[in-house]
Structure 1
């Protein structure tokens, strides 16, 4: 699912928000929640494994150390797919338009719907959320979201696509661990 998000021609829409009153300079370590949102069946999926690897790379690049025991930040993530139907109404003719044969009083005017049609198509919208939680207070402090068309996917490129989307999300993360 996440791989399909990265495959969009224009790329996914990336948003992030954080608690502006929070002191991010106190965080030095991170870990993952016991059951991230992508593990609904009771085992660790390939998507979860790819996401953990990509997130660990991004957090480490920002100076954070991975800690499985009592980290400062806990990372959770969730991926979701939703079918969307988009219908664009047909363009309306200009006011007073009766066409070339208007002088014949509409005898040759198009019947309702003739020449005017609506475009309707279905696509899959994907959303990936990455949450950073203050482990001591059990409170969300930062959230990154990628949302976009996830209709097309190459299963052979899932890991690279996940790496790309996670990197795009973390470009919105403005903090680094103190040295």
Structure 2
């Protein structure tokens, strides 16, 4: 009996390890412009996503809206300071990003000595790119992206989680917004 248990236990542990390694993590990164005063933005509106037959655009739209709301940005069609654009890429994608300091560090110091260090990425099938665009200049000021979002394990909150991971790279709040005051109001 013991002769059968050891090989079976070994087989089960190998299968579990293989199962864990096959569920790949989503790759998330961001880039931003050093010429931007991120402290001036307070509102936004969406640009159109390409229409998707399985409601993926709507699901991602709602997840982005939640993340912007949590950061104090107001959704408005009247003179927004930011435009939000997002796209879903189904095939592999070559993308040039930049190695940069964490955005919070740059916003706090606004150090003119920082330089863009280009880096080329080979992004996997299933890439979501979210761009924040200055509404006045039409220049992209921040771009977050997640690669490998289609792995057959899409649960009910999968895309909401992907969008949150992207926005974890954008820890900034809207002009005049105090997150402590918001949490006090929600706690009541």
The TM-score bracket by the shorter chain reads 0.5 to 0.7
Residues 24-173 of structure 1 correspond to what in structure 2 (within 5 A)? 24-33=38-47, 35-36=48-49, 38-39=50-51, 46-82=55-91, 125-148=125-148, 150-154=150-154, 157-158=155-156, 160-173=157-170
Is 1:16 matched with 2:30?
yes
**Do 2:128 and 2:149's aligned partners in 1 also have CA atoms closer than 8 Å?**
no
In structure 2, the gaps of 5 or more residues are: 1-21, 94-123, 177-188
1:125 partner SS: coil
Count of residues paired in the alignment: 125
Q: CA distance change for structure 1 residues 149 and 23 in 2, over 3 Å: closer, same or farther?
A: closer
Query: TM-score, normalising length from structure 1?
Result: 0.63
Where 1:82 maps in the other structure, the secondary structure is coil
Per the normalisation by structure 2, the TM-score is 0.60
| SS in structure 1 of the partner of residue 65 of structure 2 | helix
Shift of 1:40: 6.9
Which structure: greater helix fraction? 2
**Deviation sequence 1:13-63 (CA, Å, 0-9, x none):** 101010022001111001101x22x3278xxx6112111110111011111
| Alpha-carbon contact 1:27-1:72 (below 8 Å) kept | yes
On the 8 A contact 2:59/2:159 being kept in 1, the answer is: yes
> How far is the alpha carbon of 1:178 from its aligned partner?
2.0
Decide whether the 8 Å contact of 1:125 with 1:151 is kept in 2. Answer: no
Root-mean-square deviation (Å):
2.3
- Report if the CA contact (8 A) 2:86-2:128 is conserved: yes
RCO comparison, higher one (Cα < 8 Å, 6+): 1
2:15 is matched with none
Counterpart CA distance in 2 for 1:68 and 1:46 is 23
- The offset of 1:68, in angstroms, is 2.2
**Which structure features the higher share of strand residues?**
1
Deviation at 1:82, TM superposition (A): 1.9
